[in-house]
Structure 1
Amino acid sequence: MDPAEEPPSMLWGLDPIFSAFARLYVRDILHMTESTQVPGIYFYNSHPIYKVDVLGTVVYKREREDFFCYGVDDGTGVINCLCWKNDLLKEQETGKSGGDCTIGAQGGFNPLAELKKRKLAQQSRCRLEIGELLRARGPVKTSRQQREITASTFYKVNDPVMAAQIAWMMEVPQLYKGCYDKPPRPQIHTSGASAISCVTRATQILKDFFKQREVTRFRPYDVQDLLQPLITSQPQPASAEQEPVAGPSAGQQLRKLLKEALQVLQDEGIVFRKVSSQNEVYHVTAQDKDLLITIKDIIREDSKREKYAEKGCHILHILSAVRQRYSLNVSNAALMLSLKSLECNSDIISTSDSYYTMF
């Protein structure tokens, strides 16, 4: 990257990838350009990156007194991973970990024996051989003109049917498509930043109003005046000599802001429209008792069926039934909020991920 094109360091923290362990291909890690402002920071497609997450096969191994050096191959390239030994491995090598584990009654629970088993299991996951699968995450650095990863966490992945590798190969391209290959969002335009901030503030005002007044349903013009201070408090031209710029009126700005805030609330599942009509009546999900009763009835009835007796009803099944009985406009987000509310009140029980039942 040309130093002139490198974004200022004060803006790096605005990129969410900067704070995450980026799951990049080894090929891209090896070809990232290092920052001219701060050593140890690298750029992929203008995204600042300093820590990564890789999964690959060990193709070479070197062991020293305090660390391992594993060569990790993910199919696109090979990178060296420096993995520091923990105290358990050092104790094992010096012979300090082998204690007398025969204390306690025979056939009973022996804490020392169980502790030793756990230590051995942890040691086996840190000591890998060539051909085994390693997952490592940590900061990237350049040592002796060679790119490598200083692993803060590493472990052997037991993957006999290649389930972990297949899941990795399906997830990483989606991350590239949705995050890494997209340029960072511009952060220097104050008008765009103020617009985002204004919508966020408007959304929070509506949330507080619904909670304080326990609103069950409303129309847009019922809450429109709540957002009026956000329009009147917008900054005016710095100089009186500046000519006014033609633009939308205050009423148009208010209606646009309300529309954007309501769309955010719908996306989060906080409100929904039971019937799509010109009246534009919105229901507040948390206060819609009829929706909660419908969900409970569906789970109670279907949990008795043989198909759902063991694990309960899946969330997609509940969503389909709610849309048939109550409203076609209930979103997945609104259903999730209702299910969490019912579960907090002990009306339903989550048997496993995305499955619910009732006793």
Structure 2
Amino acid sequence: MDQSLQNTHAKLVARDIHRLVPSTIEANSFSLGGNVCVSRVETVGTIVSREMTHKFLKFDVDDGTGCVTCVIWLNQLSSSYFSRCDSSTILLLASAARKQAAEVRIGAVARVRGRVGSYRGAMQITATVVVVERDPNAEILHWLECVRLSRSCYRIQS
């Protein structure tokens, strides 16, 4: 591997997210075109499905190259994973997650950032930030940035 993008969000389209393969070099990361390791991604697209339970919100983002499933966890108050955090941090995380989940609507264009992973054989994003885009050009500008980065930084073969 030439480089690691472990501490940054790689801007990718859904097609490239689905092309990620588990890295043999770095734990909890994925290989992008055999050139870089990725653990966090950013994508922009239209929300085409939404399923909410008391534990999570699952939604699909379609950017024209494919759909990627995204998950926002809503169980910070009852999860043992967060038990080592202080109560004010847990309340802040729970509040932020609920606020972001309320913004997720079918038909909205959203920018999603989070940790990429594989669940039941399919790639998905565990979202940490979801922002509904107001700029009508956000999706095409994201595509252009992804093309530029794939050629100059990621060296992905089309």
TM, length-normalised to structure 1: 0.35
Where 1:36 maps in the other structure, the secondary structure is coil
Between the aligned partners of 2:10 and 2:100, the Cα distance in structure 1 is: 27
- C-alpha offsets along residues 10-49 of structure 1, whole Å, 9 cap, x if unaligned? xx7xx25332210111111112111235442111122111
Task: Quote the offset at 1:135 in angstroms.
Answer: 1.1
- Whether contact under 8 Å (1:126, 1:156) holds in the other structure is no
Equivalent of 1:58 in 12, 35, 47 = 47
Deviating beyond 4 angstroms after TM superposition, the runs of 4 or more aligned structure 1 residues are none
Q: State the structure with bigger RCO (CA 8 A, min sep 6), 1 or 2.
A: 2
Unaligned segments of structure 2, at least 5 residues: 75-92
- C-alpha offsets along residues 40-71 of structure 1, whole Å, 9 cap, x if unaligned? 21111221111100111111111011321010
Q: Residue type of the partner of 2:30?
A: Y
Task: Quote the offset at 1:126 in angstroms.
Answer: 4.1
Equivalent of 2:116 in 114, 132, 140 = 140
Where 2:5 maps in the other structure, the secondary structure is helix
What percent of counterpart residues are identical?
A: 27
Task: Indicate yes or no: 2:105 matched with 1:165.
Answer: no
- Whether contact under 8 Å (2:110, 2:131) holds in the other structure is yes
Q: CA RMSD in A?
A: 2.6
Task: Indicate yes or no: 2:71 matched with 1:82.
Answer: yes
- C-alpha offsets along residues 167-210 of structure 1, whole Å, 9 cap, x if unaligned? 22332211112111179xxxxxxxxxxxxxxxxxxxxxxxxxxx
- Residue 149 of structure 2 is matched in structure 1 by 175
Where 1:131 maps in the other structure, the secondary structure is coil
Between the aligned partners of 2:18 and 2:41, the Cα distance in structure 1 is: 12
Unaligned segments of structure 1, at least 5 residues: 1-6, 92-122, 184-359
Between the aligned partners of 1:89 and 1:24, the Cα distance in structure 2 is: 24
- Larger Rg, first or second structure (1 or 2): 1
Where 2:10 maps in the other structure, the secondary structure is coil
Task: Quote the offset at 1:89 in angstroms.
Answer: 7.2
Between the aligned partners of 2:123 and 2:29, the Cα distance in structure 1 is: 12
Q: Residue type of the partner of 1:144?
A: R
Q: Residue type of the partner of 2:46?
A: T
Task: Indicate yes or no: 2:13 matched with 1:25.
Answer: yes
Q: Residue type of the partner of 2:69?
A: N
Q: Closer, same or farther in 2 for the Cα pair 1:156/1:71, shift >3 Å?
A: same
Alignment of 1:145-224 (within 5 A): 145-159=121-135, 162-181=136-155
- Residue 67 of structure 1 is matched in structure 2 by 56
Between the aligned partners of 1:16 and 1:41, the Cα distance in structure 2 is: 9
Between the aligned partners of 2:139 and 2:131, the Cα distance in structure 1 is: 14
- Whether contact under 8 Å (2:117, 2:126) holds in the other structure is yes
TM, length-normalised to structure 2: 0.75
Between the aligned partners of 1:90 and 1:155, the Cα distance in structure 2 is: 12
Where 1:40 maps in the other structure, the secondary structure is coil
- Whether contact under 8 Å (2:116, 2:125) holds in the other structure is yes
Between the aligned partners of 2:112 and 2:151, the Cα distance in structure 1 is: 23
Alignment of 1:264-283 (within 5 A): none
Between the aligned partners of 1:19 and 1:149, the Cα distance in structure 2 is: 16
Q: Closer, same or farther in 2 for the Cα pair 1:167/1:52, shift >3 Å?
A: same
- Whether contact under 8 Å (1:67, 1:84) holds in the other structure is yes
- Whether contact under 8 Å (2:73, 2:97) holds in the other structure is no
- C-alpha offsets along residues 99-123 of structure 1, whole Å, 9 cap, x if unaligned? xxxxxxxxxxxxxxxxxxxxxxxx3
Q: Closer, same or farther in 2 for the Cα pair 1:178/1:63, shift >3 Å?
A: same
- Whether contact under 8 Å (1:126, 1:155) holds in the other structure is no
- Whether contact under 8 Å (2:13, 2:143) holds in the other structure is no
- Residue 131 of structure 1 is matched in structure 2 by 107
Between the aligned partners of 1:31 and 1:16, the Cα distance in structure 2 is: 17
